[in-house]
Amino acid sequence: MFDRWRKNYDEATDEQQREFYSRMFREYPKQESYHLTSVIRFIEAIRDPYVFEFGGWDGQLAAETLYFCPNVEEWTNFDCCHQAVTSTAQRDHRYHPMPCEFNVWDTTREHFNTLVAAHSIEHIRQEQFHKLIDSLPDLEYVYIDSPLSAKTQNWHGYEGTHIYEAGWDKTIADLAERGFVRVARWRTGTNMEQSTAYAFRRKLA
């Protein structure tokens, strides 16, 4: 199923992608792939973060982070799986679930100064990640947690919706080209899947 999804990825319509993730929600509703400690350390070091969370599923990471981080001004969870993003009642007034189109990077969104992407960029193309960064003109801080290796990825046979082609070396270089420097690194993941998280900050002029 997943290799077929990867094969058809580039031709799939927005509706087809959202339908596929609706199926994923029905079959695999519990998705808690995040490292809370590193997210909290990243967020608490930022003054007045306006967070754009990419692919936050049911908002569980947001709920836990907001509990520990009173400095957050706003946290918006953008996810193309409408069933997931609207499935949890989040009581914190700073949290906003945002069901969106699959190609969320096609719309420019101002005022977000912080991007949180916990186990989400591996589900899109490298070029789409570039577009996501470029669609947030006020971005100053970036957090990425992902099970990437250093070099090129090959996801053939992988039982999941991973498709991102680049490794960490190229991803870090891509962010550097856009003015971001690496400021922190954490070893994250589980016994099932090791991953690494990085924090980046836009270079001061």
Average pLDDT of the chain, as a whole number: 94
Residue 198 resides in a domain: yes
Contact 126, 173 (CB under 8 A): no
pLDDT greater than 60 at residue 191: no
Place of tokens 């498709």: 163
Domain count, the chain: 1
Q: What CATH number does the domain containing 135 carry?
A: 3.40.50.150
pLDDT single digits (tens) 8-55: 999 999 999 999 999 999 998 888 789 999 999 999 999 999 999 999
Q: State how far the alpha carbon of 32 is from the alpha carbons of 42, 58, 60, in Å.
A: 18, 9, 7
Domain that holds residue 88: 2-9+35-202
Residue 15 resides in a domain: no
Q: What is the DSSP string of 107-132?
A: S---S--EEEEES-GGGS-HHHHHHH
pLDDT greater than 90 at residue 90: no
Provide the whole-model pTM: 0.96
Residue 155 resides in a domain: yes
Average pLDDT over residues 144-164: 94
pLDDT greater than 60 at residue 192: no
Residue 190 confidence (pLDDT): 61
